[in-house]
Structure 1
């Protein structure tokens, strides 16, 4: 009986270890991040590059973190469980390019301060951030969502089919936006707005821009807030 209890207790401990485990990794320098798969990634500035991985229902070894060139790639192994839950907390020194794909979620835990940011969020993924920048180049892919706050001199955004850009709280001087079919863009600009709103696209803007050049299509909607 005692032997049976010992074995059972050992199995339970093993199950808990697999169910939730944590690992910290030091990383070489990177200034780009590429996230792919159903992973939640939280990013903040630090003194050195490192990552803390928290995994449920899978082992941390099933989560791939590797720096190729100057790009940190974060993804799940191909044979990982679909119901697996993984969170990665990343610290960086410099960051200028973020790519999010395949149902990933990325959030900045503090304000990202950068001269120029390239942001690419595709295939039903999400990105959320406070930003202070001179320029931003953002692409929102099909079914994806991007939420931006902060300030920028000017930015260019392409919002593809059924994508959502929520940037009314991103205070910009100028904004250049393409809103695809069925897509939604909410933007702020106080000097100039140039927009192309395609069929069934929806554009909301604020900031009382001094100049605007907005092209519309059949079934598109443009509204000033």
Structure 2
């Protein structure tokens, strides 16, 4: 009986260790590696890395990290999507940044899952439409220029956008924040479900929906249609 109780107490610890994965410490020897990849137009990233996106004529990937950590940072293309992640079963630690530089002619969809960061180096131009998805506590900070933009966030992360989009649809679920005063739009639809906050700008039409205690601040002279269910608020600022 005592052995059974001991095993029951030990099981959560074992599962926790397995979930965390084996810890791999960086050796402090900075290195970079160019990866050979086929063409892609979307990116899905998870893990603690910083992802830097840049428009370029040809697809390319460069990884910067401690030399012994490079084999644990995986980059592969499936279909038209570049997947960036750490090797399963390992938990990477380093005093130095782990960065993945990603170049492509166009980005249709960018997805971040976890606690990493995605930024853009310069303006990302898409002549059709672009979708951004964030799940977890990570951050997306990008400059974009596209006719139609969609951004979806679930969790406690942050999305910061600048540039322009004729039409922008944004959905926020959780306690995260959307900072988009720098994104010039003509028509925007923003919905918050939870306690998150949003900053938006529109020149023609602005549709705002809040379910919960979220707050939306807006700029511009757009016609505003707002619906609030809960203690949230909508405020115009200069």
TM-score (norm 2): 0.84
Note the C-alpha offset of 1:47.
2.5
CA distance in 2, matches of 1:72, 1:93: 13
RMSD: 1.7
Note the C-alpha offset of 1:58.
4.0
Residue 212 of structure 1 aligns to a residue whose secondary structure is strand
Residue 190 of structure 1 aligns to a residue whose secondary structure is coil
Corresponding residue for residue 227 of structure 2: 215
1:1-225 map, 5 Å: 19-56=29-66, 58-84=68-94, 85-114=97-126, 115-209=128-222, 211-225=223-237
Segments of structure 2 that go 5 or more residues without pairing to the other structure are 1-24
CA distance in 2, matches of 1:151, 1:174: 11
CA distance in 2, matches of 1:140, 1:58: 33
Which 4+ residue blocks in structure 1 deviate beyond 6 angstroms?
15-18
Contact (CA 8 Å) 1:18, 1:59: kept in 2 or not?
no
Note the C-alpha offset of 1:180.
1.8
CA distance in 1, matches of 2:172, 2:162: 17
CA distance in 1, matches of 2:79, 2:108: 14
Greater fraction strand? 2
How many equivalent residue pairs? Answer: 210
Residue 145 of structure 2 aligns to a residue whose secondary structure is strand
TM-score (norm 1): 0.88
Segments of structure 1 that go 5 or more residues without pairing to the other structure are 1-14
